[in-house]
A and B are shown apart, each in its own frame.
Chain A
Amino acid sequence: MKHAKTATQNACKLCNPLGACLAFRGIENCVPFLHGSQGCATYIRRYLISHYKEPIDIASSNFHEESAVFGGSHNLQVGLKNVTAQYKPEVIGIATTCLSETIGDDVPMILREYTKTYRNGSPMPIMIHASTPSYQGSHIDGFHAAVRATVETLAEKGERQNLVNMFPNMVSPADLRYLKEIFTDFRLPCMLLPDYSQTMDGGPWGEYHRIPPGGTPASAIANAGKATASIEFTSTLADSKSAAGYLEGAFGVPRHKLSLPIGIKESDKFFDLLETLTEQPRPEKYEDERRRLVDAYADGHKYVFEKKVILYGEEDLVVAMTAFLREIGMTPLLCASGGKSGQLKQRLIELIPDLEEQGIKVREGVDFMDIEDEAKVLKPDFLIGNSKGYTMSRKNNIPLLRIGFPIHDRFGGQRAHHIGYRGTQELFDRIVNTVIEQRQNASSIGYTYM
């Protein structure tokens, strides 16, 4: 490239309200509501459906010309009234769009007005408002904004309880289920937020549910301020934007910040922390999981050693994945993200001190054309990231290992594990198999044994 690029070509990010809607789906009996035009809600629903394959209702205040001129207050109020009548939600998760943010609607004030007008004795849904203009940040920022707003709205003061808040980041429903299993096995009460393990990956219905069953109850979130600790999986999230950060500041709940536990070392840190918090050793089951993983590393190490990879996705995922790839001897040539926290490189160096010596490139705020340009020069053995890399994978004949979100062109993305020993095991198996398949395809005789 001769000069700095202006246009974004094949974006490696999505917009804030998408993340917010996903997070709101992790609250029990909650309807996500976008304050803006109809299109945004519909596109986001359509996008989420392709990954999760679940009905996803997102209401919209449905702006018109008048709302753009006179403000969206009327539409928001009518919208809330209608959603309440139709869905009978306990919680309405309101995220703003570029439109309402630009107009400058004062949503908290509108909500107060609304509450005053319509309360007349009957209980109102709890309204959570997250400010999510897409011209600042990307979907992951919207996700965290919604989680933080939820805690800010609901958390109450009170006596400490034997309870840990778990803020898992934007992981898969399978990952969320695994987390719950871990906490149950440790006998450690946990407030997991968000928890869309069931709402975004549930069973069949005999009747239509306006709101799918599952999610963290508002009453449980209310206890977040009374917890003994918060754990959050993130590397790049600023304290001022994190739910755990808020709880620490407002209620003195100690905050433990870990990177997403992918790979043995990072998973160890998570389990060590749980051991510390519960003052008991991890259940034998997890020792077993770890042992199997170590054993698998040994069985598979030759396939992966010094294999070259380009990695892309949300910054936190990229950081955690890079640490994992390094611990199995793989070589990430490029760690790329469409996100732009300004911290990606620093956080990577903390986990991989020899990052620069290894010549690992780090780029924030990229799109898929940037990544493709890099791929042409770097010539990786494969790509690791979400489905949106498929176009460049196909064009340049580089295999793609799909992780994270979205997975639009494969089945079961919502059931893929990424975190902990179990998730790492699954990722490791898939990576090894990708290499084996590559070798098989390239072989003139077609090995039938390994």
Chain B
Amino acid sequence: MEHIGILEGREKQVFEKKGGIETSDIACETSSLSGSVSQRACVFCGSRVVLYPVADAIHIVHGPIGCAAYTWDIRGAVSSGPELHRLSFSTDLQEMDVIYGGEKKLYLSLIELIEQYKPKAAFIYSTCIVGLIGDDIDAVCKKVAAETGIPVLPVHSEGFKGTKKDGYKAACFALMKLIGTGSTEGISKQSINILGEFNLAGEAWIIRKYYERMGIEVVSTLTGDGRIDAVKRAHGASLNVVQCSGSMTSLAKDMEEKYGIPYIRVSYFGIEDMSKSLYDVALHFPEHPEIMEAAKQVVSEEVKKLYPELQKFKKALTGKKAAIYVGGAFKTFSLIKALRSIGMSVVLAGSQTGNKDDYRRLKEMCDEGTVIVDDSNPVELSKFILEKEADLLIGGVKERPIAFKLGIGFCDHNHERKIPLAGFVGMYNFALEVYQSVMSPVWQFAPRKGGNR
């Protein structure tokens, strides 16, 4: 096979675990190299991820058409009621707007859409070009808010002004403006907000039920199946439970500072981490031992159902190797554990946006020989997948064709998944999906398996 090298300037973002734990840190949290085919998106994408599931608000992308067209109904974030988030609104800037400014078009668009859809709020995303032509979207938002009486929130997400993480922050900033504006009356002391859970394929509902079975009140889910009114009263909760990646930690921090609400980080993937996320919440209410009792009850009931089911998959999958490349590093930890519980090892672990601590922890967790990458690209991913003889790739839509081309199984663990992978039932779905992909007989025809004629 032809030799594939690592792109110059990226060497420090790739690491292979050999002979114990190395001390030097992996380089990360940098912007992508020009000319590399990064799997990352942009600031706007980060904001869109976080705010998208708010279903009773309209989301207007201020810019030329592409940014809105490519994100129309793109995620599997489901709503139990209104579905305004599934529509795509754009100011669709034309040449004249670029020359003379798009403020007027934005204003008219807002007025017209608010009148037509009667949303509870509006989010206005500024894209790259708006950052250049210098529209004062804050002023427009203020004006429209005053005229329509609903919150109209600017989200400064110009694609080039940072990375996806900055987009998360911009979104959290907009949410922070809503939080604290609603009444907290009647909220129980044993209450939480679920942060960083976007209700993909209904996952937030699954998680919410577990907490409710423990006697916990869920004040607000940010932002899965999100409603503006629920966001407004989120400051009434006693604890913020933040899932995974960095997407919403900044909001949790801000809420801690402003409202004194502590937060914990959890993950809902895999038996181990899912159980821990219930216990950790229970631990927060020590004066209510019944909550811990209930948590144990939930875990034992669920695991009793799940465990025997998993054995069948484990039997088939033991010894198979997986490569993981997902958005946030936190999810990688859970996936490594989840894969181990079905007999699989991990030969490549990477993320688009991990930080130094994440990678340090990854290094500790991983087996000898595992490759760890930050902000990788298709060439590199393929190189390691083949070299390490992976049987499975876990990633998002952009990684899927790489896996299938090379003739290996694939599991979509990104924002577009259609099957819930969180919670105990999600672990079952995950194992099933991995099993169905890895064990498929179609790979016998793959060149990798000698299927070339």
B-binding segment of A203-211, A228-236, A275-283, A436-444: A203-211
A21-41 near B? 1/0 per residue, CB < 8 Å:
000000000000100111111
Q: Which of A2-46 contact B (CB under 8 A)?
A: 3, 5-11, 13-15, 17-18, 33, 36-46
Contacts of B159 in A (CB 8 A): 37-40, 63, 99
B8-19 near A? 1/0 per residue, CB < 8 Å:
110000000000
Most buried by A among B72, B109, B159, B406: B159
A15-B112 CB under 8 A given contacts A39-B42, A57-B378: no
B-binding segment of A72-80, A237-245, A307-315: A72-80
B382-421 near A? 1/0 per residue, CB < 8 Å:
1100100000000001101110111100000000000000
A8 touches B92 (CB 8 A): yes
A86-B36 CB under 8 A given contacts A18-B66, A205-B405: yes
B-binding segment of A131-139, A184-192, A295-303, A329-337: A131-139
Residue A259 at the B interface, CB < 8 A? no
A6 touches B112 (CB 8 A): yes
Q: Which of A415-449 contact B (CB under 8 A)?
A: none
A98-B42 CB under 8 A given contacts A7-B112, A8-B89, A42-B398: no
A85-B401 CB under 8 A given contacts A58-B37, A75-B34: no
Return the contact of A79 from the options B34, B42, B386, B448 (Cβ within 8 A).
Answer: B34
B88 touches A10 (CB 8 A): yes
Residue B39 at the A interface, CB < 8 A? yes
B66 touches A14 (CB 8 A): yes
Contacts of B66 in A (CB 8 A): 14-15, 17-18, 40, 43-44, 98, 134
Residue A218 at the B interface, CB < 8 A? no
B33 touches A62 (CB 8 A): yes
Count, chain B residues at interface, CB 8 A: 79
* Nearest B-chain residue to A42, judged by Cβ: B41
A334-356 near B? 1/0 per residue, CB < 8 Å:
00000000000000000000000
B87 touches A42 (CB 8 A): no
Report the bound CA distance from A13 to B68 in whole Å. Answer: 11
A11 touches B90 (CB 8 A): yes
Residue B67 at the A interface, CB < 8 A? yes
Name the distance in Å between A369's Cβ and chain B's nearest Cβ: 8
B126-151 near A? 1/0 per residue, CB < 8 Å:
00110111000000000000000000
A15 touches B65 (CB 8 A): yes
Most buried by B among A11, A62, A86, A103: A86
Contacts of A98 in B (CB 8 A): 63-64, 66, 98, 128-129
Name the distance in Å between A93's Cβ and chain B's nearest Cβ: 13
Contacts of B63 in A (CB 8 A): 98
A42 touches B40 (CB 8 A): yes
Report the bound CA distance from A219 to B47 in whole Å. Answer: 45
Residue B29 at the A interface, CB < 8 A? no
B250-287 near A? 1/0 per residue, CB < 8 Å:
00000000000000000000000000000000000000
Number of A-B contacts (CB under 8 A): 235
Contacts of A13 in B (CB 8 A): 65, 69
A8 touches B94 (CB 8 A): no
B95-122 near A? 1/0 per residue, CB < 8 Å:
1011000000100110011000000000
Contacts of B402 in A (CB 8 A): 55, 208
Residue B186 at the A interface, CB < 8 A? no
A102 touches B45 (CB 8 A): no
Report the bound CA distance from A55 to B405 in whole Å. Answer: 8
A60 touches B38 (CB 8 A): yes
Residue A140 at the B interface, CB < 8 A? no
Report the bound CA distance from A135 to B130 in whole Å. Answer: 12
Return the contact of A7 from the options B60, B404, B448 (Cβ within 8 A).
Answer: B60
B91 touches A206 (CB 8 A): no
Name the distance in Å between B261's Cβ and chain A's nearest Cβ: 33
Q: Which of A70-96 contact B (CB under 8 A)?
A: 75-76, 78-83, 85-87
A46-B98 CB under 8 A given contacts A7-B91, A65-B161, A82-B33: no
B93 touches A39 (CB 8 A): no
Most buried by B among A18, A47, A76: A47
Residue A61 at the B interface, CB < 8 A? yes
Name the distance in Å between B66's Cβ and chain A's nearest Cβ: 3
Contacts of A18 in B (CB 8 A): 66
Return the contact of A82 from the options B7, B70, B105, B400 (Cβ within 8 A).
Answer: B7
Report the bound CA distance from A46 to B159 in whole Å. Answer: 16
Report the bound CA distance from A3 to B71 in whole Å. Answer: 27
Name the distance in Å between A38's Cβ and chain B's nearest Cβ: 5
Residue B206 at the A interface, CB < 8 A? no
List the 8 closest A-B pairs by CB distance, nearest first. A39-B42, A15-B66, A79-B35, A206-B447, A82-B35, A208-B382, A7-B109, A79-B34
Which A residues form the contact surface with B (CB < 8 A)?
A: 3, 5-11, 13-15, 17-18, 33, 36-47, 49-50, 53-65, 67-68, 75-76, 78-83, 85-87, 97-99, 102-103, 133-136, 138, 204-208, 210, 388, 391
17 contacts between A and B (CB under 8 A): A38-B160, A39-B42, A40-B128, A40-B159, A42-B40, A45-B398, A49-B400, A49-B401, A62-B31, A62-B34, A78-B35, A82-B7, A98-B98, A204-B445, A204-B451, A208-B405, A391-B73
